[in-house]
Structure 1
């Protein structure tokens, strides 16, 4: 499901960055229109679980209030469950009562662009968050029984070995938090790759990188680093341009990627009690 188009933020790696789309305005669907689609899909196909993939569904306080007021009127949480993307800095300002209302309205999991455990790299990404805020928001969500899917980028331009280690610690801290609360935290980790039109693309090409080389996407084979067939889920997103953009060699980036992916896979196969 898509509840809106456009994004007011300017994360430097993202194709939806506002500076990469200056001619696009933000458009938000009317709540009644969204609910009509939920009901139509249920009536025609029996669907009871939905995923909102736009950036703004849980990314603007006003929009959250409008949507949840409508969801409450239509008793959506009694009939459906749903996942959505969210903004950490926005959810940091949401009250406990508002989180309770999200749960009652059927929210099951929020996908968050956590990206890094290094505040220095988060600033370079223009994420407008820090690691402490991300941990605080994740803790509050899982305490309310809301799952978290965190996205992380390894090998961002300028990333040092200390920055990489901070991200690994951050992910494991988040797993430890999840082990003590009802909600779960899943880490989805990827190697950095540049996209045309993004702020970081402009920075890289201005620094002398060949645009053709930045577009030479290729598959990443993590087999030698311990990945196996059982871990294959989102392999279509495991691609790279084969360029080292930070201070950590690509083999080390990929070894770390495989290790974190393997640990997440093991968590997926077990229970929280097993992980703890």
Structure 2
């Protein structure tokens, strides 16, 4: 962190920290991450005047509505931690989609319930109300989906939650 500050870095994206969310989902995706550790990192970065962006995946296979709510609570906790510090924390959330060659792809294919064509059927999803909503137009996430309910939560629930988080992030940005 001191090296970042000394070099003039004011923003940092944790590309390796792509997988954040509910504890069970994190454990399945990457055991190194815990909500406690992520909170420590956010505070450490924000106190160092580093602007951090976290990526949050919703709709992970078998993820429950409660686990999605845990992820939302984590985002809000991170906003609160960073809110009292010189640096900032920005949340970026998107809908889960499987990619060939990943462990998730293999798990999904091994169930026999899906074909490769189904899992590769990435289609654009318009969360912007046809471009009318500024909070959604400023999203920098790729709004694509395979339009298959992979989580226990419905696709509609996942998308409503994405929209709510995006609106909150937008409001935080414009009111800062």
- Per the TM superposition, whether the score is higher than 0.5 is yes
CA contact (8 A) 1:215 1:241 kept: yes
- SS of 1:117's partner is coil
Post-superposition Cα deviations, 1:59-112, rounded to whole Å, max 9, x if no partner, equal xxxxxxxxxxxxxxxxxxxxxxxxxxxxxxxxxxxxxxxx22221112222222
- Residues paired across the two proteins, number: 172
Whether the 8 Å contact between 1:222 and 1:255 is mirrored in structure 2 is no
Say yes or no: does 1:201 pair with 2:105. yes
Matches within 5 A, 1:69-218: 99-112=1-14, 113=17, 115-208=19-112, 209-218=114-123
> Partner residue of 1:249?
154
CA distance in structure 1 between the partners assigned to 2:12 and 2:61 by the alignment: 27
TM-score, normalised on structure 1? Answer: 0.59
1:244 positional shift = 0.9
Question: What CA distance in whole angstroms lies between the structure 2 residues aligned with 1:260 and 1:233?
Answer: 13
The structure with higher relative contact order (CA 8 Å, sep 6+) is 2
Unaligned runs of 5+ in 1: 1-98, 272-276
Who is 2:126 aligned against? 221
1:158 deviates by 1.6
Unaligned runs of 5+ in 2: none
Query: SS at the partner of 2:117?
Result: helix
CA contact (8 A) 1:122 1:130 kept: yes
Pairwise CA RMSD: 1.8
TM-score, scaled relative to structure 2: 0.91
Give distance in 2, aligned partners of 1:186 and 1:114: 13
